[in-house]
């Protein structure tokens, strides 16, 4: 069924099946981002309901559905606390691709992940000890603490929630969720 879905409007090169759909729990809490294909499967199996859609229609032999943007699960899914490992990409996403020492935004490839308390001095590889730094600031700090190097962090490192990283990874989904929350309350 899902393989036979196609886009009606062929004059654009934007293929809807490659876009992300925001999945909300029954309580409107963001859970994840899934492909349009996966969202349609959830809708057709009546495991989710459509909350927001585009004007585009997706057609199969037996169905015509609007392209989903946001879906809500029909049953509450209890999830255990999901901790996110502190990867390079996740740390930079948390810090908005901004050097936490000077505030520069040189681009993802010119940034590094700095251990605030150097590992050679017992600093751990965890969220509370990792910050995004530009190469210049990371080199200046070296294996010193920020205080020893005469530098100050713009904000203290913290462990983000899974939901926060999901929303940070897709600003469009975040704005849709905020709009829905504003309309719900």
**Domain enclosing residue 180, as ranges:** 2-80+163-184
Q: Which among 14, 62, 58 has a CA at the least distance from the CA of 40?
A: 58
Distances (CA, A) of 36 to 42, 80, 162, 163, 175: 10, 25, 21, 19, 18
In a shared domain, residues 140 and 104 = yes
Supply the pLDDT for residue 171: 81
Phi and psi, residue 94, nearest 5°: -60, -40
Within a domain: 23: yes
Query: What is the tally of structural domains in the chain?
Result: 2
Question: Which residues are CB-contacts of 184 (< 8 A; sequence separation ≥ 6)?
Answer: 28
Structure tokens, 158: 């913290």
Token pair of 125 as six digits: 């590889």
pTM, to two decimals: 0.67
Does 97 lie in the same domain as 32?
no
Whether the predicted pLDDT of 13 surpasses 50 = no
Task: Note whether 60 and 100 are same-domain residues.
Answer: no
Sign of CA dihedral 8, 18, 25, 185: negative
Task: Give 93's contacts (C-beta < 8 A, 6+ positions apart).
Answer: 165, 168, 169
The answer as to whether 178 is a domain residue is yes
Tens digit of each residue's pLDDT (9 = 90 or more) over 132-152: 999 999 999 999 999 999 999
pLDDT value for 125: 94
158 found inside a domain: no
User: What CATH number corresponds to the domain at position 116?
Assistant: 1.10.30.50
- Say if residue 48 is in the same domain as residue 110: no
pLDDT in tens, 78-130: 877 778 899 999 999 999 999 999 999 999 999 999 999 999 999 999 999 99
What's the pLDDT score for residue 7? 41
Strand order in the sheet with 48-59: 6-7, 48-59, 64-73, 20-24, 30-35
Residue of 84 and 12 predicted with greater confidence: 84
Give the pLDDT confidence score for residue 164 in this predicted structure.
83
Closest alpha carbon to 174 in 91, 70, 83, 94: 70
Whether residue 46 is contained in a domain is answered as yes
**62 shares its domain with 118:** no
Asked if residue 39 belongs to a domain, the reply is: yes
Residue 156 belongs to a domain: no
């Amino acid at each position: 069924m899902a393989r036979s879905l196609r886009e009606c409007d062929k004059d654009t090169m934007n293929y809807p099946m490659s876009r992300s759909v925001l999945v909300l729990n029954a309580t409107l809490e963001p859970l994840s981002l899934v492909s349009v294909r996966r969202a349609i499967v959830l809708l057709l199996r009546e495991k989710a309901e459509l909350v927001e859609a585009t004007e585009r229609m997706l057609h199969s032999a037996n169905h015509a559905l609007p392209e989903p943007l946001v879906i809500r699960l029909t049953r509450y899914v209890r999830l255990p606390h999901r901790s996110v490992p502190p990867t390079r990409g996740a740390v930079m996403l948390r810090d908005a691709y901004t050097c936490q020492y000077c505030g520069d935004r040189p681009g993802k490839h010119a940034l590094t992940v700095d251990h605030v308390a150097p590992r050679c001095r017992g600093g751990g590889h965890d969220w509370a000890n990792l910050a995004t730094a530009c190469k210049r600031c990371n080199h200046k700090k070296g294996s010193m603490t920020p205080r020893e190097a005469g530098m100050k962090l713009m904000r203290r490192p913290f462990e983000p929630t899974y939901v926060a990283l999901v929303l940070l990874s897709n600003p469009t989904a975040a704005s849709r969720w905020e709009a829905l929350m504003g309309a719900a309350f």
